[in-house]
Structure formats: structure tokens, C-alpha cells
Structure 1
């Protein structure tokens, strides 16, 4: 049995991961920014009598991270597994997204994970045992407009994770990167409205792409199960694309030159629809 701390568990991938790990017999500390969002998780935990403790943790706040993780270690003796899942979206063109929003997205998606990592790494290093799972996105390996803030934060977490994996190998601590594709989670409903008079066509194209992808939704429990397999296994594999569209999207990006991607950004609506149909079999409605 591992003692696992999971961030961002009020919904989506975090909730699914906490439940999946607990169902597999692990003891889970399920953290979230606001405990008012714990209702769905608490219902599952209560009904199934799972070994899950819900705790408040705001990854944006140094003191919150330090207090929550120190308390978890004091109560459990150690943390074997850290799953950095807490994250926010960040769509919109570079011109139109305020600097404050760029900072907010980077703070949560990259620095939030880093805070948690720095809080658990000393114990894992000293025990020469542990597993850190960072949830990024296929957007951490392919940047598509208009998601500069989000993609930049995920690219940063990918680079951080790759360096961390090299550092922790010497101490027998595994690091894994989870790269979900389009997963059916509440994050899409939390997207901020785009300017109605925006001169950029990319936001509505991205919205149409997500809508088309979600006609055959991938459950967040698919991601949770992949994380469980990592925790229960002994693989040193670094990256795990997850979801039916993850590998196809990454393979498609790898097949394109940078210049082709730039050209793709300037396509007309009709050219975009044809591209999505021919490359991915998706019918996007613009």
C-alpha cells in the first residue's frame, strides 16, 4: 500500500485518480483548493468506504502547500506518491490575454506543481523511494493557437519533469509525465468567454475542435487507471500520452515542420474544416 497525495481532486482527472488509487488499496490524501468542492468525492468515498482523507491545499500558496504536506507526513509518516494534477485552463490569443492571466496560469500549472515537488522530494530522496506523477497535456508537446498561456505552462512543467527525473534517478525515485488528450472534464465548462469582436479566428476553431472530440468522450478514469498502473508498477518510462486522441495528435505534430504548423495557423475556416476531417476524421462546426 502506498500513501499517495493527489492535488486538484474536486473533479475531473484528480477525482478519478484519487478514487482509482483508493480502490486499488492505496491510502489517498485528496487535496483541493476549496473543500466546498469535495461533495462528489465524499459521496464515492462514503459509499465505497475508501481510504481517502480530504484536505485543503492551494498549490498557488507557499504556506498552504507547506502546511498541508507537513501535516500529511506527520499523520502518515511519509508520502510515497505525489500526483500533481491541479491545473487551470488558459485560452486566448497572446494579444488579448492579460499579463495577469498569463501569470495566473503559470503560477498554478507550473509553480504549483513545483511547490509540491519541493515539499516531498527531501523525504523521498532520503528514503530512496517514491514516485512523482506530473499531469501535463499533449499541449505540453504541441502548441496550438490560441492557447499560449496554457501550452507555455505545460511545456514548462514537461521540462521541469524531465530534469527532475534525471536528478531523482540517482535516489531511486521515479518521475512520470501524464499527457492527456481531450478528456471529458469540467475544465471545458470553466473556460473564460472570448472577446466577441476578436480579430482572431483560432478560439472558435479550438472550441469547435473540442466539441467534435467530445462527441466520443474519454473518461477521466482512463487517466486515473494509467496513473494507478504507474504507481503499482516499476517502470522508469517518462512520458505517457493518455486518451484515444493523444498519440494521433502527437504523431501528427511530429510529422509536420514548424513552418507547416505556422501555415496551418493561417488557414481559412474551410481549409481548417477539411484539415480536421482529413487528418483526424473530425467534423468541426464553425
Structure 2
């Protein structure tokens, strides 16, 4: 009996890294279920798939909706026989310091970047555990290792999801399931267009205005030299398919260097000292 091709479920595929990851996994021979909140926005994905000569199963999935997530995973298992690879890519950014953030905005970051990831992962684990194999790859950020000014809610959610996945990794490995995180740095994509900005409607006497302006100038420079979504997606595909898996992946030399600030920073002075210069 011929074994079916591995099935990958990828979230957030309407553009950017998710789009290129879905196409890249299909080119690698996997059956790919590419999901997005609104399938009316699937034109770019379908065009990229056609140009690559691959087929994708495009479906609607809002990771913040528990009922839709449960139904989506059940439907993929019913239609394709299982889920061997989960790529948690859907995400959302926010630029604001804590005093500027409402409870609703904090919750929004957790819902998309943390709780949605936890929900999808929990849903696929029983099938992977029963099969004795599987991959869970979560796209976090360098902001999941290094806290950054005016990224309080975003980095908080990304720190949380990295802690979740690092805690899960050894337990999942006991059942043959590999858990990894991928940490992109600055990536040229539509992600930045969906970022909540604290300076929208800010008053002239905003005490944070000067600090935020300095941060935004520095960030604009970083994105001027950003890697492409396709380059970052190549690392995600490698993490999902390699014969030599590991827990943590960075998508560029710059991301590697930046994450190293925190991972070797036992007292926190290197990170705080470096990021303080961003708002000077």
C-alpha cells in the first residue's frame, strides 16, 4: 500500500511568509491545506501556486474562533486522512507602549499570536501522537526573544508562545512529534500594514510622541533592509521538512545576531542597553 503524502495545515496564507510557505511545502511534495480568515483574499496565493505548478486546498480559518478551528481541523482530517505538519503562521502586530494599550488591544494580541496558536496545536496533537510522528512549526519573531520599545503587547504574546512551545517540545518529542519555532527579523510583507499604531489620533502633548517617533525612524531603517517573505519562508519550509530538526530557527544572519542578544544576556543589561538607543 502506498503511503499518502504528508499533509500540512498552514495558517495565515493570504500573503507574505504564509503564502510562500504554503507554496514551498507543496513544491516539496506535501499536500497543503492553506488557510486564511477571508478566502475572498486568495487571489495572490492562487496565482503564486499556479506559477509554481502546484495545487493547494484553500480553506477559511480564523484561529481566534474556537468553533471554526475545531471544525476546520476535523474537516482536514476527514478529507485528507490526517495532519502531519502544522505551521502556525497567522499573526498580528501592534505598536504602542503599555499606557497606550487598552485591555481589548492586549487581548487581541493574545488571541491571535498566542491563544490561536495554542488552540490549533492542541487540536492536531492527538492525531500526531497516535501516529507517532508529526511537526508543529510556529512562526514567532525575534520579538519572542527580545523585548522591544513600543512592542509591549506583541512581544508579550510572542514571548508567551515561545514559552509554550519550548515547554511542550520535550513532552511532544516523547511521542515522536517535533516542535519548533521560527524567528524572523524584519521581513518585507503586508504584516506591517496590519499593525495597530498608537500614534493614530495622538494629541500634541503626548508624552510618548518623541520616543515613538525615534522608534519609528529606527524601525523604518530596519525594514528598508528587510529580507523578503520568500527568503523567510524558505527557513519555515526547512524547519517543517528537515531530517535534522531543532527547536529554534532564525530566518537571517541579522535575526540570529539579534536573538543572541537575549539568549546570552543573563542579567538583561545587553538587551535593555541596546533597545534604549532606539528611542534616544
TM-score by length of 1: 0.88
Post-superposition Cα deviations, 1:172-207, rounded to whole Å, max 9, x if no partner, equal 111111011111111112223333333124432332
> Does the Cα contact within 8 Å between 2:94 and 2:151 map onto a contact in 1?
yes
Question: Any idea what the Cα deviations from partners look like across 1:101-147, whole Å, max 9, x if unmatched?
Answer: 00010011000001100110000000001000011001001101111
1:221 and 2:225 matched:
no
* Residues 81/260 of structure 1: CA separation in 2 closer, same or farther (3 Å cut): closer
Alignment of 1:60-79 (within 5 A): 60-79=64-83
Q: Does 1:250 align with 2:254?
A: no
**Map of 1:98 onto structure 2:** 102
What is the distance in 2 between the residues matched to 1:248 and 1:202?
A: 25
2:15 is matched with which residue? Answer: 11
RMSD of aligned C-alpha atoms?
1.9
**1:75-98, Cα deviation, whole Å (9 max, x unpaired):** 000111000000100220100011
Checking the alignment, whether the CA contact within 8 Å between 1:183 and 1:243 is kept in structure 2 is: no
Query: How far apart, CA to CA, are the structure 2 residues paired with 1:10 and 1:176?
Result: 22
Structure 2 Cα separation of the partners of residues 126 and 51 of structure 1:
28
Q: 1:250 to 1:260 in 2, by over 3 A?
A: closer
Partner Cα distance (1:268, 1:40) in 2:
35
5+ long unaligned stretches in structure 1: 273-286
* Inter-partner Cα distance in structure 1 for 2:207 and 2:47: 45
Change (3 A) 1:268 1:150: closer
2:214 is matched with 205
Aligned partner of 2:156 in structure 1 is 152
Equivalenced residues, count: 270
Residue 139 of structure 1: aligned partner: 143
Change (3 A) 1:65 1:258: same
Query: Are the equivalent residues in 2 in contact too, given 1:4–1:83 (CA < 8 A)?
Result: yes
Query: Within 5 Å, which residues of 2 pair with 1:30-49?
Result: 30-49=34-53
Moved more, 216-225 or 178-187: 216-225
| Distance across 2 between alignment mates of 1:170 and 1:207 | 44
- How far the C-alpha of 1:26 sits from its partner, in A, is 1.4
Shift in Å at residue 264 of structure 1? 5.5
How far apart, in 2, do the equivalents of 1:75 and 1:86 lie?
23
Q: For 2:195, which of 177, 191, 194 is the aligned residue?
A: 191
The structure 1 residue matched to 2:84, chosen from 76, 80, 101, is: 80
C-alpha contact (below 8 Å) 1:222/1:242 kept by paired residues: yes
